[in-house]
Amino acid sequence: MTRVSRWGARLGLAGLVLAAAGCADGTTPSTDAGGAVDEKAPVTITIGDRPTPDKPNDIAAFERNIKEFMDAHPNITVKSTETKWDAQTFQAQVAGGSLPTVMNISFTEPANMIPNKQLPDITDELKLVDLTKDLNPDVLKIVQDGDGRIYGVPIDVFSVGLAYNRALFQQAGLDPDKPPTTWDEVRQYARQITEKTGKAGYAQLTKDNTGGWMLTTMTYSMGGSVQSQDGTKSTFDDAPAKKALQLLKDMRWSDNTMGSNFLYNQEEIRQDFAAGKIGMVLQAPDAYDMCVKNFGMKPADYGHGALPQDGGPHGTLTGGSIKMINPKASTNEIVAALKWIKSQEFDKYTNEQLAVQNAKDSIADRGFVGRPGITPLSQETYDRYNTWREPYNNVPVEQFEGYVESTRTLKLLPEPANKAQEVYALLDPVVQQVLTKKDADIDKLLTDAASKIDARLAR
């Protein structure tokens, strides 16, 4: 049983913590490192999120974009890496100082990174490249400090809804065009799906911080909150979160409509959903891409409804992606990086030709056009952009109707402001216990979790 051969791995982990330390050596970034801006000076930037080698078409498109950008900006050299945001490794990358100049990160990060000086102040540079006016001021709040200075560029916004399998709905005798809109309906539909098809009527994310993430979403939909406005205290030890957990408990133990797997992360649950093993699951609409493209789900089977509510429309959890810039970047690098972000993420919204070309490219790369989302820009700009691209839509938009409707009616509630990922991590076991232990005491679980989380928030 002794694992001599794997010692290395284990000791390596401890070493990794330390090695990461060795590399970074406590470098303190400064916002004014580069001095005055020189837009003509040669500058090199590194772009993260390069597609992995298993997606050759995406890589080709990525490389082509880089080449076109470099042709248009001869003084800027663009390099790329596969580095991408992952709740499990991001802190290590920040600590290791191995971040590219530009990469996508989650909405949950800036709240802690701004006070930690892990993001540069890019307010002036944003004005210089003329990006500020396009951005939706409500979304922009995510990347601003108390004085309104800006530390990142929001590019993508999502809100959580309910993904459901239309084929299973049909088999269970449910109308695939009418997804449930209340939690009572979800419970009833789940019962019907399991009864008629033998599949899990409803499944829940529970692992790698997603358990806490979805408990937060459910709590919001029941009218509750998870953290105080200022982020110093937890607020979930009350009726809405209890109701959410009680519902899960009932579906799991009384109805037995949640299948047999209760350890799911995003990828695993999408895999089972795409394989037709799950009737309904809380997801953002981007789940469509992975389910169809990676796991071979039939587009006709995919449906997306609003986040179910309990006792009146309360709202849904929103999140999204931000382009972050390395805190060590010089002013010239920041300007070059913002030009890159503008050309890749924003020009298409205001330039019809580019919007259409972009849609055509997506289709050629077996990507998707028309999947509903929420705009980081003004609704007007976004609607105009969608009109340009409508002829190229290859996503069955009508199957997202319930969701699209909800983006206009449901309030968008942000994720916890302080240490969201840590809060989620500490809530994972709560959800897991409710689903794997029949006599789980919900009141005690929430009280215990609240005291653990308050200790973390105070640290």
Partner 1 sequence: MSLLRTPQSGRSGIRSLATWYRSGGLSAIVFALPLVLTFLYFSWSPIVRGLVLSFQKNNLVTTPEWVGLANFSYVLTDPQLPQATVNTLYFALLALIFGFPVPLFLAVFISELRSAGWLYNVISYLPAVVPPVAAILLWKFFYDPSGAGVFNSILGWFGLGPFAWLNSPDLAMPAIVLEATWAGAGATSIIYLAALTGVRTELYEAAELDGAGIWKRVWHVTLPQIRGIILIMMLLQLIGTFQVFTEPFLFTGGGPDNATTTILLLIYRYAFINGDFGAATALSVLLAGVLCVLSVVYHLLTRRWSIT
Query: What residues line the site for partner 1 (CB under 8 A)?
Result: 1-7, 9-11, 13-15, 17-22, 24, 26-29, 87-89, 91-92, 94-97, 112, 116-118, 206-209, 259-263, 265, 327, 419, 421-422, 425, 428-430, 432-433, 435-437, 448, 451-452, 455-456, 459
| Shortest separation between residue 209's beta carbon and partner 1, angstroms | 7
CB 255, CB 194: distance < 8 Å: yes
Question: How many other CB atoms sit within 10 Å of the CB of residue 123?
Answer: 17
Residue 165 Cβ vs partner 1, minimum distance, rounded to whole Å: 17
Q: Which is nearer to partner 1, 208 or 345 (CB)?
A: 208
Give CA–CA dist 258/262, Å, rounded: 8
| Smallest separation, CB 35 to partner 1 (Å) | 22
What is residue 90's three-state secondary structure? helix
Question: Quick one: CA torsion of 140, 142, 144, 145, rounded to 10 degrees?
Answer: 160
- Cα(369)–Cα(387) distance, integer angstroms: 12
- CB of residue 359 to partner 1, shortest distance in Å: 37
Contact status, residue 124 vs residue 142, Cβ threshold 8 Å: no
Nearer to partner 1, 346 or 424 (CB): 424
CB 285 within 8 A of CB 304: yes
Nearer to partner 1, 345 or 422 (CB): 422
Q: Which is nearer to partner 1, 301 or 428 (CB)?
A: 428
Q: How far is the CB of 412 from partner 1 (least distance, A)?
A: 26
Residue closer to partner 1 by CB (options 76, 269) is: 269
Closer to partner 1 by CB, 208 or 333: give it.
Answer: 208
169 Cβ contact list (under 8 Å, min separation 6): 175, 176, 179, 189, 193, 279, 303
| Residue whose CB is less far from partner 1, 160 or 457 | 457
* Least distance from partner 1 to the Cβ atom of residue 423, Å: 11
Q: How far apart are CA 308 and CA 221, in angstroms?
A: 7
Residue with tokens 């080449």: 67
Give me the least distance between CB of 414 and partner 1, in Å please.
20
What is the side-by-side strand order in the sheet with 200-203? 200-203, 278-283, 161-165, 302-305
How far, in Å, CA of 47 to CA of 68, rounded? 15
